[in-house]
Amino acid sequence: MNFAIAGAGFSGAVLARELAMDGHQVTVFESRDHLGGNCYTERDAETGVMVHRYGPHIFHTDDEKVWEYVNRFVDFMPYVNRVKATFKQNVYSLPINLHTINQFFGKAYGPKEAESHIHELADQTIDLPQSFEEQALKFVGRELYEAFFKGYTEKQWGISPKSLPASILKRLPLRFNYNDNYFNHKYQGIPKDGYTPIFEKLLDHQLIEIKLNTKFDQEGHTHFDHIFYTGPIDAWFGYAFGRLGYRTLDFKKEIHSGDYQGCAVMNYSDSDVPFTRISEHKHFAPWESHEKTIVFKEYSKACEPGDIPYYPIRLLDEKKMLHEYLVLAKKQDGVSFLGRLGTYRYLDMDVTVKEALEASKAVLSCIRSGKQI
């Protein structure tokens, strides 16, 4: 069969590979001038540092099959994400762990004492937390909430944590030991030469044609048996119900000599610091060595037409609008919607790969049994 895939991020690239391996012709349309979507990495010309152009990407997963799959294409180096936070001129360890608690309260608690201290501070009157703020107050109490979550979250999302869903905070662990690994997953790493080679390798197949700088055109590209669309779902339908809300990021670049901050990611939770964090990209590749260093200050803002969408906001208004688009999408013959933008969900890379593998299996089984895709 002859397939079109719009988008060369993880969803599009994995799907293209799996379909081509089964003998199908695939054309991948990518509106940007490079592969990899927001996972794209490139070497900075001045410093030689591998830069994650759209912000830090650390691959982490519990899924052995996904880990094995991505490792087939490139070598991953072991990398543990350890994030620090600056608040009122002090530097703390994240996610909140025994070290953070002891630093913050000037104590030398053991795990049990720390746990009972946090239990005393946590707001026990909140039964079923609805908002981010309620979740945080129940989780760690007001002082730690105001230090590490309130300011950062207001900057990141542009609204009060009182209006954000509790689920956003549930991504973060709270630990009563000194484990400062930001993620709980079994497998974690960064590709030795950045992420771009994964996409080059996934798409390196004689049955795959790549068209960069080419937006998929619904009217012009009509000769395909099926279209897999990984772009924004609202754009496909011409924003018929309005624009789904996203946050976008602005990065301000600086080049320095030596080491700028001594770690890859420093979060800034003070609300009078305008950026959310500073990433120093050479620390994402500690197996390399560079004299100079490149850092990016990260500013979050509302996504306007023409900006690159990053974080789906998914508040009530958006959820209602998304539902309307999903109903239309279901009725649309010959098109499947996939990935972070195609389904308007905040997906980590491993989940995106997993879903793309599942989608390809489902498509190939439809083809074999003669069912409509």
Which of the residues 143, 171, 217, 254 is marked catalytic? 171
Nearer to ligand UDP by Cβ, of 102 and 267: the residue is: 267
First and final C-alpha spacing in the chain:
12
Binds ligand UDP (CB under 6 A): choice among 156, 188, 293, 336: 156
Residues 76-95 close enough to bind ligand UDP by CB under 6 A? 85, 94
Q: How far is the CB of 124 from ligand UDP (least distance, A)?
A: 22
Q: How far is the CB of 319 from ligand UDP (least distance, A)?
A: 17
Which of the residues 17, 53, 277, 340 is marked catalytic? 277
Nearer to ligand UDP by Cβ, of 20 and 94: the residue is: 94
Q: What is the sign, positive or negative, of the torsion defined by CA atoms of 119, 97, 351, 29?
A: positive
Are 244 and 267 spatial neighbours (Cβ–Cβ below 8 Å)? Answer: no
User: What is the rounded CA–CA span in Å between residue 355 and residue 344?
Assistant: 14
User: What is the rounded CA–CA span in Å between residue 373 and residue 366?
Assistant: 6
Which of the residues 32, 43, 243, 247 is marked catalytic? 247
Nearer to ligand UDP by Cβ, of 10 and 149: the residue is: 149
Part of the chain binding ligand UDP (CB under 6 A), chosen from 5-13, 148-156, 197-205, 349-357: 148-156
- Under rule CB under 6 A, residue 59 binds ligand UDP: no
Q: Respond yes or no: is residue 247 known to be catalytic.
A: yes
Three-class SS state of 59:
strand
Number of helices (H), then strands (E), belonging to the chain: the values are 12, 17
The candidate with the shortest Cα–Cα distance to 370, out of 1, 122, 64, is 1
Locate all alpha helices (DSSP H) within the chain, ordered by sequence. 10-21, 64-73, 98-105, 111-121, 132-140, 142-144, 151-157, 196-202, 233-236, 316-331, 339-343, 349-369
Residues 167-186 close enough to bind ligand UDP by CB under 6 A? 168-169, 171-172
Are 71 and 194 spatial neighbours (Cβ–Cβ below 8 Å)? Answer: no
Residues 249-288 close enough to bind ligand UDP by CB under 6 A? 267, 269
Distance of CA 185 to the CA centre of its chain: 15
A 10 A CB-CB count for 116 gives 12
Q: Respond yes or no: is residue 120 known to be catalytic.
A: no
Part of the chain binding ligand UDP (CB under 6 A), chosen from 166-174, 186-194, 317-325, 330-338: 166-174
Which of the residues 17, 175, 314, 340 is marked catalytic? 175
Part of the chain binding ligand UDP (CB under 6 A), chosen from 149-157, 200-208, 254-262, 353-361: 149-157
- Under rule CB under 6 A, residue 19 binds ligand UDP: no
- Under rule CB under 6 A, residue 152 binds ligand UDP: yes
User: What is the rounded CA–CA span in Å between residue 343 and residue 322?
Assistant: 8
What are the E-state strand segments in 30-81? Answer: 41-43, 50-52, 59-61, 76-78
**Catalytic residue positions, numbered:** 171, 175, 247, 277, 298, 346, 348
Q: Which residues bind ligand UDP (CB under 6 A)?
A: 85, 94, 148-149, 152-153, 156, 168-169, 171-172, 267, 269
